[in-house]
Amino acid sequence: MSAAKSAESPTFIAPDALLAHWKGHRGLTRRLIEAFPDDQLYTFSLGGMRTFGEMANELLAIASPMLQGLVTGDWEEYSPEGVDSKGELLKLWDESTEEIEDFWSQLPADGFGKTVTAFGQFTGPVHWQILYAIDNEIHHRGQGYVYLRALGIAPPPFYER
Amino acid sequence: MSAAKSAESPTFIAPDALLAHWKGHRGLTRRLIEAFPDDQLYTFSLGGMRTFGEMANELLAIASPMLQGLVTGDWEEYSPEGVDSKGELLKLWDESTEEIEDFWSQLPADGFGKTVTAFGQFTGPVHWQILYAIDNEIHHRGQGYVYLRALGIAPPPFYER
């Protein structure tokens, strides 16, 4: 159980480092939201897609609610907020970040490999669920970058967290 | 060093699961490349940005070369390939995926927290370097989704890996 066990269970990343990584992404997404003109965040889109504000509403409905479900075992139905202003979105974004930190501290340190069903329909290991939330944020934020560029606005650098 | 050490070193995700996660992303990015019309991959763009083909060339210049550097300690200068056709890009993409698997198996299992300098300029833990490569792929692929939608083409679902 000591050295042998340790050698059999290598770690790619520890939970606290992963949370710091996620928070870096959340900070960048926040700066992207801020970079949108107030009157474009919930109106501008390309290719018939959703506005970046609507995408951010989706992100709010996944991240903190997912961690709440992972901690409590109670899964709310997926339901994006009906936010439609930058000020309200930024407020909810910051509250969501605080909730994420709070729930994270309650996640069992040895439970990230456990298989769970999120939101009553997505089954996989806890780390897979959490990476989905982060990857989905990066995915939609990348789309927001195109919107901003199309609006003639230089987005914050991707590598700054 | 046994139970106590184990409790002090929780794991978010193991290296083999992270590689599987990355390969899922690479498969999706490959399908996105395939979904582009041959004559748009290296010509179409929005907002004055690069084409998706050029972004994919960047991804090729980061992923496998980064792992090669992490394994060998030899860092090539960052230099994207001058590929400009879908067929050649898909060929290099597949070769890159094979190289990633090969290099991954040579990474020391206990070395993901070690701090290194990638490409002579980016300093951070090995896990941070690798997550940068993956996140950058997701980021640019999200931009490719907008390009495809603007071209009137339905992209492959984000959640399918």
Cβ pair A159:B10 closer than 8 A: no
User: What DSSP letter does each residue of A32-101 carry, written as one string?
Assistant: HHHHS-TTTTTT--STT---HHHHHHHHHHHHHHHHHHHHHS--PPP------SHHHHHHHHHHHHHHHH
The pLDDT of residue A4: 43
Lowest mean pLDDT among A1-10, A22-31, A126-135, B101-110: A1-10
Confidence of residue A92 (pLDDT cuts 50, 70, 90): very high
Which of B12, B49, B159 minimises the CB distance to A13? B12
Instruction: Give the mean pLDDT of chain A.
Output: 93
- The mean pLDDT of A31-38, rounded to a whole number, is 98
Q: Angle CA(A62)–CA(A11)–CA(A70) in degrees, nearest 5?
A: 25
Can you give the pTM of this predicted structure? 0.94
Q: What is the set of domains in chain A, with CATH numbers?
A: 13-150 (1.20.120.450)
Residues of B in Cβ contact (< 8 Å) with A130: 12
The pLDDT of residue A7: 47
Cβ pair A12:B17 closer than 8 A: yes
- Residue A139 neighbours by CB under 8 Å, 6+ apart: B138, B139, B141, B142, B145, B158
Query: What digits encode the pLDDT tens for the residues B45-61?
Result: 999 999 999 999 999 99
Which of A1, A17, A18 minimises the CB distance to B2? A1
Joined tokens for residue B137? 């792929």
Q: Write the DSSP symbol of residue A151.
A: T
Joined tokens for residue A30? 């926040």
- For residue A13, list its beta bridge partners: B13
